[in-house]
Amino acid sequence: MIAPPKITIGLLGKTNVGKSTFFSAATMIPVKIENRPFVTLEPHVGISYVRKRCIHPDLGLPKCTPVNSLCIRNERFIPVTLVDLPGLVKDAHKGRGLGNKFLDAIRQADALIHVVDASGSTDEDGRTVKPGFRNPLEDIITIEHEYEEWMYTIISRDWQRFARALDTMNPSEVVEALAQRLSGLSIRREHVAKALAISKLENTKPSSWREEELRLFIHSLRVIAKPIIIAANKIDIPEARDILKELYRELSDRIIVPVTSLGELLLRRLVEKGAIEYLPGDNTFIIKDSSKLTQQELKALSIIEEIFKIYGGTGVQKAINETVFTGLNMIAVYPVEDPNTYTDKKGNILPDVYLVPQGTKAIDLAYMVHTDLGKAFLYAINVRTKQRLGKEYILKDNDVIKIVAAT
């Protein structure tokens, strides 16, 4: 059985841009998909996967026997939670559309994928228009503004009184107090400290902050605590190509992934039907049985082939990977029980792979595996090099680690 994932990604965006299709493609859980606004009325939750090359071939192992993940064609698929959030519109923080209910729903997400209509075929409120009609840059700015406005309303309540109290505290206590005030948004102490530093406010009295400084802090906090990857969807529509180039120019500092959610969904359904061979994230597919394909499906596959040539894939898997490995700065580590056989107590080879933030220490991993291991930690072993590691050792990507604890 695969253990419950510990990373949650929220799908963010206005209505009718393809979030539900992205969700279905990434999880293969069917949800109601219609061409009209507000079709998603409650958040949908499913399991998707981060794809990363498994290390067992590099270790000279013929196979692995994963427990908390999957290994297909030497590729590890590590589970994450994916939440399809109902559509947001301008002034949602004021209650317009479905309002604060859905802003509140994203607070537990570790990171967000903002699905936008790169073809420009949906207007401000998600109604269908002619492709190229709307610039999706406006949607990106609008939705991120809505989220920051929502954060602002939370932190600015009775700000002057709260800020005067902060003035009496030392820097560490200020960070702790701000983190406590924002804890309902799943914002942690380290997020607050980094945001204060980036905003250059860590050595100023909070009561002296003007509104623009408070908003700067909130913007920095949102970028750090809720990284957003942009999924430029509907690249199968020709108008999307020029619009995508413009997005790259206007948002050169952002991660933008060209996506055809519909193409990915079709590929996965054809795999289920036994018509093609395809692994999520691949840049090609193989037709196994053309008799199982309709003329319409064959035509769609030819369009997908063209997209593969231009963009290197459908983008759905890449968007998830970018969110975890770039947005959240995660690495993969493999804890094992037996350093000689790379197994757990049951003989499973490389049974678990953990996604952990860069900077995670050996002692942190011990606590992740089991609280008792953390409490009784003696040292760790780098299984590849056989080197003994102290509790302060900072884990590296693809480390294989044995935790040694007092018995």
DSSP secondary structure letter of residue 76? E
How is residue 59 written in tokens? Answer: 């270790």
Is residue 294 packed enough to be buried (19+ CB in 10 Å), middle (13-18) or exposed (0-12)?
Answer: exposed
What are the tens digits of pLDDT across the range 132-177?
Answer: 999 999 999 988 888 888 888 888 889 999 999 999 999 999 999 9
Is residue 78 packed enough to be buried (19+ CB in 10 Å), middle (13-18) or exposed (0-12)?
Answer: buried
Q: Which of 1-5, 27-31, 72-76 has the highest mean pLDDT?
A: 72-76
DSSP secondary structure letter of residue 3? P
Would you say 393 and 402 are in contact if contact means Cβ atoms under 8 Å apart? no
The alpha carbon dihedral of 29, 34, 36, 39 has a sign of negative
- pLDDT at residue 19 greater than cutoff 60: yes
Tokens 């990284």 correspond to: 227
Give phi and psi for 334, each to the nearest 5.
-120, 100
- CA distance linking residue 132 with residue 141, whole number of Å: 18
Q: What average pLDDT does range 318-327 have in this prediction?
A: 98
Q: What average pLDDT does range 313-335 have in this prediction?
A: 97
How is residue 153 written in tokens? Answer: 């309303």
**pLDDT grade, residue 209 (50/70/90)?**
very high
Report the predicted TM-score, pTM, of the whole model to 2 decimal places: 0.90
Per-residue model confidence (pLDDT) at position 172: 92
Per-residue model confidence (pLDDT) at position 85: 81
What are the tens digits of pLDDT across the range 79-134?
Answer: 999 998 876 656 655 655 444 555 666 777 899 999 999 999 999 888 889 999 99
> Among the residues of 106-239, which ranges form H helices?
136-155, 159-167, 171-181, 189-198, 211-225
What are the tens digits of pLDDT across the range 258-312?
Answer: 999 999 999 999 999 999 999 999 999 999 999 999 999 999 999 999 999 999 9
Per-residue model confidence (pLDDT) at position 98: 45
Give phi and psi for 148, each to the nearest 5.
-70, -35
Q: What average pLDDT does range 313-327 have in this prediction?
A: 98
Closest among 46, 45, 43 to 85, alpha carbons compared: 43
Per-residue model confidence (pLDDT) at position 112: 94
- pLDDT at residue 202 greater than cutoff 60: yes
- pLDDT at residue 183 greater than cutoff 90: no
What are the tens digits of pLDDT across the range 339-387?
Answer: 999 999 999 999 999 999 999 999 999 999 999 999 999 999 999 999 9
Strands 75-84 and 276-277: unpaired
Closest among 151, 97, 145 to 125, alpha carbons compared: 97
**pLDDT grade, residue 1 (50/70/90)?**
very low
Per-residue model confidence (pLDDT) at position 164: 94
- CA distance linking residue 402 with residue 407, whole number of Å: 15
- CA distance linking residue 65 with residue 56, whole number of Å: 10
Per-residue model confidence (pLDDT) at position 30: 56
Per-residue model confidence (pLDDT) at position 148: 87
- CA distance linking residue 214 with residue 207, whole number of Å: 10
Domains and CATH numbers, the chain: 8-135+228-325 (3.40.50.300), 149-222 (1.10.8), 331-405 (3.10.20.30)
How is residue 131 written in tokens? Answer: 């492709």
Per-residue model confidence (pLDDT) at position 99: 47
CB atoms within 10 A of CB 77: 22
Closest among 130, 123, 124, 185 to 154, alpha carbons compared: 185
- pLDDT at residue 16 greater than cutoff 60: yes
How is residue 25 written in tokens? Answer: 């493609």
Per-residue model confidence (pLDDT) at position 364: 95
Closest among 262, 263, 293 to 276, alpha carbons compared: 293
The alpha carbon dihedral of 205, 206, 208, 212 has a sign of positive
- CA distance linking residue 156 with residue 154, whole number of Å: 6
Beta bridge partners of 169: none
What are the tens digits of pLDDT across the range 221-245?
Answer: 999 999 999 999 999 999 999 999 9
Closest among 326, 351, 339 to 385, alpha carbons compared: 339
3-state secondary structure (DSSP) of residue 230: strand
